[in-house]
Chain A
Amino acid sequence: MEFFLQLVLNGIVVGSIYSLVGLGFVVIYKSTSVLNFAQGEFLVLGAYVCLTLTVQHQVPFFWSFLITLVFSALLGILTERLILRPMIGEPVISLIMVTLGLSSLLKAIIQGIWGTDLRPFPDIFPAEPVQIGPLPVSQGYLISLVSVTILLIIFTLFFKFTRSGVAMRATAFSQQVSLSMGISVKRIFALAWSIAAVVSAIGGVLLAGIRGGLDGAMSFFGLKVIPVVILGGLDSIAGAIVGGPIMGILENLAGGYLDPLVGGGAKEVAPFFILVLILSIKPYGLFGKVKIERV
């Protein structure tokens, strides 16, 4: 029983990182209908910037973290200006593909600047784990749990009640109609990408802190989180938040109980299996909005 509880608990805390990174996906999807394959690179880039500032330039962590966030916001704006603006009005699938191109490009830039070797990441969290019930939990996960909760509230309110939030959703439905309302699709894109980059950077720094080291390979996290947001529902903030821990729990239970039986690999596959099952009952994820199809 304790083993079970430990697995579940660990799933929840580990899943909070998924949620955090997942949020970035949702924000972009909600305002542009695009699945951003470069999310993982945003993550890594943010973490590297923070690392360079703290280690190379000896900036105190708090400040380098803030600068990283500003940098990420600018990165979002730059991405919009250089890559997405020319694509306004183009088919969504092309936009998705463009993010794949962006992912390659950023990967190369990251490699060009920081190389491929693993760099130790400064210990930003106290090394001592916090005891939650039966399980010691790294403080990094706790921080991500807290940030996720705060972001959940902020974003939910933002998309529901602010004009920019509603305009973002409108833009996702149809850029052309939004333009005809006077909504600046450019601005919406820039905003969405900045938010996503900032959220990713937070995730990246936390993740690098938890892993203790940083290299380009951490960008795999971008792909890894996709099933999480699908589980929650691509356009649902709450979905991303809930999807992370669920995925985490599924993984841990599969890892704890199935892996020893099948000789490994279940931890990665079983969640997918369950994901498909859940989707066949709820085709738009747990909280995703049903696409309106009427004639």
Chain B
Amino acid sequence: MNIAGGTFGSHPLGYRMLELKNVEVIYDDVILVLKGLSLSVPEGKIVALLGSNGAGKSTTLKAISGLLRSEEGEVTDGGIFFEGQPMHELPPETVVRRGIFQVMEGRRVFEDLTVEENIDMGGYIRNDRAGLRADKEACYEFFPRLRERRKKLAGYLSGGEQQMLAISRALMARPKLMMLDEPSLGLAPLLVAEIFRIIKRINEERKTTILLVEQNANLALSIADYGYIMESGRVVLDGDPEKLRSNEDVKEFYLGGGGGEGGKKSYKNLKFYKRRKRWLS
């Protein structure tokens, strides 16, 4: 069933809030990065997007949020639909107003704004003062470290602290769909676990739909409802977390447990390089 170009229907998990169909992305007019990517994100669910370096995960998120244009990238084919509406022509600020918020890779905090001002900017599109105040409080609850640093310039935070700040901004926006690009990057183990708890909580309490790009596949799949695996600009495998976890290749490349020996292997014992098995090339 097609309505306004978007598709409603039979995702195994329900209504497709976001849908990408055969998306092609080209950088600088010549570099083809997404080669006909299709995926969909059901409403209210967490979808994990996995893939190796350079597979095009970040590019996918930027294509959705419209930030591609500022990097000389362009969606040249296919379509992106959010709640049935085509998205690929919209400027990023409109995308945010429609309810999609992206936490960009590599922290990207406003370095010469204070921590608090950064958090305020996360809620830029909202106008409910009370709600904003409550959400800001919630951010500080999640990350007490940030409360301590409230009046400090974000540029002086440590890497992990900046990552917390970047996530807080997303919390402030209260989007319908939150896209997180490697949220655990640079966080200490304790916090990594905490972040994933927070993501799950947001998903459950606020009913926020989440598209999660993450290298820590173990954790990502542990909270996700569905997963996609990308290689060189295409989806090569998708399914529910159980299915993915049991796939031998996924085990080997993403979970770090595969290789047949069953148990966990030591980095030290890797005697020789493993040739990466190409899934599709």
Contacts and interface: CB of A to CB of B under 8 A. Distances in A.
A175 B117 CA distance: 16
Interface string A166-181: 1101100111111111
A116 interface: no
A179 B65 CA distance: 9
Given A89-B70, A182-B97, A289-B112, A294 B121 contact: no
A182 B125 contact: yes
A184 B120 CA distance: 15
Interface stretch (B4-12, B103-111, B189-197): B103-111
A294 B125 CA distance: 30
Chain B interface, DSSP helix/strand/loop, else mixed:
helix
B58 to A, nearest CB: 12
Interface residues of B, number: 31
A291 B69 CA distance: 27
Nearest to B92: A179
B96 interface: yes
A177 B111 CA distance: 11
A49 interface: no
Contacts of A166: 113, 117, 120-121
A235 to B, nearest CB: 8
A292 interface: yes
Nearest to B155: A292
Contact of B108 (A177, A183, A291, A292): A177
Contacts of B101: 180, 182
Contacts of A57: none
B110 A182 contact: no
A99 B90 CA distance: 28
A170 B153 contact: no
Interface residues of A, number: 24
Q: Which of A88, A176, A179, A294 has the most CB of B within 10 A?
A: A179
B42 interface: no
Contacts of B80: none
Nearest to A185: B93
B136 interface: no
A182 B93 contact: yes
A183 B117 CA distance: 14
A182 B124 contact: yes
Chain A interface, DSSP helix/strand/loop, else mixed:
helix
Nearest to A235: B112
Interface in B68-109: 69-71, 91-93, 96-97, 101-102, 104, 108-109
Contacts, number: 80
Contacts of A292: 111-112, 153, 155-156
A181 B96 contact: yes
Contacts of B227: none
A181 B169 contact: yes
A174 B110 contact: yes
A25 to B, nearest CB: 18
B65 A180 contact: yes
B233 interface: no
A182 B96 contact: yes
Given A163-B124, A180-B96, A169 B112 contact: yes
B67 interface: yes
Contacts of B104: 176-177, 180
Interface in A153-175: 163, 166-167, 169-170, 173-175
A181 B173 contact: yes
B108 A174 contact: yes
Contacts of B66: 179
B51 interface: no
Interface in B8-62: none
A175 B96 CA distance: 14
Contacts of B96: 179-182
Given A89-B70, A163-B120, A292-B153, A173 B113 contact: yes
Interface of B: 65-67, 69-71, 91-93, 96-97, 101-102, 104, 108-113, 117, 120-122, 124-125, 153, 155-156, 169, 173
* A-B complex: 9 closest residue pairs judged by Cβ atoms: A182-B96, A292-B155, A89-B70, A179-B92, A182-B125, A184-B93, A292-B111, A176-B70, A170-B110
9 contacts: A163-B124, A166-B117, A169-B110, A170-B117, A176-B67, A176-B104, A176-B108, A180-B102, A294-B156
Given A183-B124, A294-B155, 12 more contacts: A89-B69, A163-B124, A166-B121, A169-B113, A173-B112, A174-B108, A174-B110, A176-B71, A179-B91, A180-B67, A180-B108, A183-B93
